[in-house]
A and B are shown apart, each in its own frame.
Chain A
Amino acid sequence: MDVKVSRRQFFKITAGGMAGSSLAMLGYAPNALAGVRSFKLARTTEHRSTCPYCSVSCGMIMYTLGDKSKNVKPAIIHVEGDPDHPVNRGTLCPKGAGVLDMIHSPNRVKFPEVRAPGSNEWKRISWEEAINRIAKHMKDDRDKNFIEKNAAGTTVNRWNTLGFLASSAASNESGYIGVKTMRSMGVVALDTQARI
């Protein structure tokens, strides 16, 4: 398209443009709309969890993408303290507040691995393999070191060569089951991180 602009018209266009931009600079521009960033957790799914770090065991809420519908793969997008949790009532320390980056860390251990004696390599194994392996080691050790009677001949049923450390995130119920299971096998060295 060939537009013919005369000298006079050119001056008019330039002057008009300058007047317009000057007025804009002086604050007569059409009002730019302002709005806050939309609330990013509006329709996320919430799950309760416990902070994995120290023995205080603060309550956390994990916010995941999507509404658990079939075709959506959930991913944790935000973590905050749980206001209803009696331990922390919504607060989190710097480590706990930054747990999102641990969850998504490429260095996070997500499956059982084993480093066999003498080897310097970690090998991935299945959960079944891992549980069987632990059970086998425990049985071997118990068969070898179990003390049924002490020097005086009193029945003591001790298994002193194995210790058990429970997570501080364990609930009362899982703590109860933990103690019952371990004591039934004769384990004496029983503790939980929550005692620290």
Chain B
Amino acid sequence: MQSLDVKARSGSTAPAPGVRTIPEVAKLIDESKCIGCKACQVACMNWNDLRDEVGTNIGVYDNPADLTPSSWTLMRFFEVETEKDKLEWLIRKDGCLHCADPGCLKACPAPGAIVKYSNGIVDFVSENCIGCGYCVTGCPFNVPRISKADNKAYKCSLCSDRVAVGQAPACVKTCPTGAISFGSKEDMSIYAEKRAGELRERGHKGAGVYDPKGVGGTHVMYVLKHADRPELVGLPKDPSVSTMVTLWKGVIKPIATALMGAAAFAGFLHYVMVGPKEVKEDEKEDA
């Protein structure tokens, strides 16, 4: 049974039932509190029963080197010179941002393979996934990964199974420094602003909240030390759903549907007005 109400469904034009409203949830990642211990990565693998391959050291702390179908979250480490002769070591927990306007869902052609629940979680329903990879193209944050084992797309589910029974995601629960917190989107937004203000008071002039409007806001938000330059930690400054996806799904598809309907209607009209082609008996024998 459905434990969370569906707000949007990929590859479907039929509207989702939406009378009930449940509070929107959000996860807040405070970059300034993160020590890069990777407990969130371990907790994620444990909860979701994933065990990635033991990789090789690529010379940096990132382990694994990139998000994979079995590693839905990843600590990314950035050694950046934020000002001249001022080196900073920034750490960001990467993973799905659970956009309010998800590019993956828009791009997905498989009915019901990507759903957005009314609490804001964007979830992949693997049974319905056809492995086309459109979600990878549609995602402004380069998050989904296609598995070689079963050719299906995987990414963070914000522990939708835990949230559905009133629990926090596994990464949030385990975080020893309290860098990750979870609650209603409203509470998290207020807390994020408070934290950003505290950081600005302490001299981090560029501190702020990352909740990009180009994708309608996200249900995984960041407090960044350099919110004016999110590129420093590998985040796009003004992310938006690709124009190709918007054009294809928003303009071309409805036109094509209308044309198809018109063609079918024309055929019907022709049948009514002209009628089916009559075949003479002698011609039939020749056929």
Contact = CB atoms under 8 A, between A and B. Distances in A.
Interface residues of A, number: 35
Interface of B: 1-4, 6, 9, 11-14, 37-39, 41-43, 45-47, 109, 111-113, 115, 117, 123, 125, 127-128, 157, 160-162, 164-165, 170, 173-176, 178, 253, 256-257, 260, 264, 287
Given A28-B14, A39-B162, 4 more contacts: A24-B111, A25-B109, A32-B112, A34-B125
> For the complex, would chain B's binding face be called helix, strand, loop or mixed by DSSP majority?
mixed
A93 B13 contact: no
A98 interface: yes
Contacts of A94: 37-39, 41-42
Interface in A28-85: 28-29, 31-40, 42, 78-81, 83
A192 B121 CA distance: 46
A167 interface: no
Contact of B175 (A35, A80, A83, A91): A91
B160 to A, nearest CB: 4
A56 to B, nearest CB: 9
A59 to B, nearest CB: 13
B4 A36 contact: yes
Nearest to A29: B111
Of the candidates A22, A34, A38, A83, the one having the most CB atoms from chain B within 10 angstroms of its own CB is A34
A33 B4 CA distance: 12
A179 interface: no
A14 to B, nearest CB: 15
A46 B13 CA distance: 44
Interface string A111-149: 000000000000000000000000000000000000000
10 contacts: A25-B11, A26-B253, A27-B13, A32-B128, A33-B2, A34-B123, A36-B164, A92-B39, A93-B176, A96-B39
A4 interface: no
Nearest to B11: A27
A36 B111 CA distance: 16
Given A36-B164, A37-B161, A79-B46, A29 B173 contact: no
A73 B258 CA distance: 61
Contacts of A37: 157, 160-161
A157 interface: no
